[in-house]
Every structure is written in C-alpha cells, then in structure tokens.
Amino acid sequence: MKLVGILLAVFGWLLPVVGLGMTSSTGARLVLCIVGIAITLTAILKLLISSHEKEAVWKQ
C-alpha cells in the first residue's frame, strides 16, 4: 500500500510536467495540473495515511 501511494504521488506530479510538452493550451495545462494535484493528494491523504493508521498506537 505504501509503495502504491508513493508511486501514485509521483505520477500525479509528473502528469502536468510531462503534459507541458504535449499541449500548449493553457486550459489543458490547467486541467492537467488540477488532476495531477488531486491524484497526489489522494495518494498521500488516503493511501499513505491509512496504511500507517493500521499500526497506530490508539488502534492497538
């Protein structure tokens, strides 16, 4: 789960960066940025946090 979270977070970052070379449309770049940030945030706030929550002190 942690590895998936890390890979997804990196993917969300690279998506708009690579997209710079694929389109020159400002609107398309803006959409790619927002989608990329959403993917990264989901990876961090959902996948990574929930993978650690299983080991949390208060759950034991």
Partner 1 sequence: MTRCTWLRPCLWAAIVALLVCGIPAWAQGQTAAPSAPAAAATPPPLAVDAPLPVSGPSADDQAAGDPSGTKTGTANDVVHADPTKPLTLVDLVNQAGQNRIAVNFVWTLVAGFLVMFMQAGFAIVETGLCRAKNANHTMMMNFMVYGFGLFAYWVCGFALQMGGAAGVSILGGAAPLSHEFTIHLLGHDWGLWGTKGFFLSGATYDVGVMVLFLFQMVFMDTALTIVTGAAAERWKYAAFAVSSLLLGAFTYPIYANWAWGGGWLSKLGANYGLGAGYADFAGSGVVHAVGGLTALALSIIIGPRIGKYNRDGSSNAMPGHDIVIVLTGCFILAFGWFGFNPGSTLGASGALRISTIAVDTMLAGCTGSFGALLYMWIKYGKPDASMSGNGLLAGLVAITAPSGYVNTMGAVIIGFVAGLLVCVSVEFVDRVLRVDDPVGAISVHGTNGLWGVISVGLFADGTNGVKGLFYGDPTQLVAQLIGVGTLLGFVFTTSYVANLAIHAIVGQRVAAADELEGLDIPEMGALCYPEFVLKPDTTHSGAAASVKAGLQVARETA
Q: Which residues bind partner 1 (CB under 8 A)?
A: 2, 6, 9-18, 20-21, 24, 26, 29-30, 33-34, 36-37, 40-41, 44-45, 48-49, 52-53, 55-60
The nearest distance, CB 40 to partner 1, in angstroms, is 4
The nearest distance, CB 48 to partner 1, in angstroms, is 6
- Spacing of C-alpha 18 from chain mean position: 15
Buried b (16+ CB within 10 A) or exposed e, 4-36: ebeebbeebeebbeebeeeeeeeeeeeebbeeb
The nearest distance, CB 55 to partner 1, in angstroms, is 7
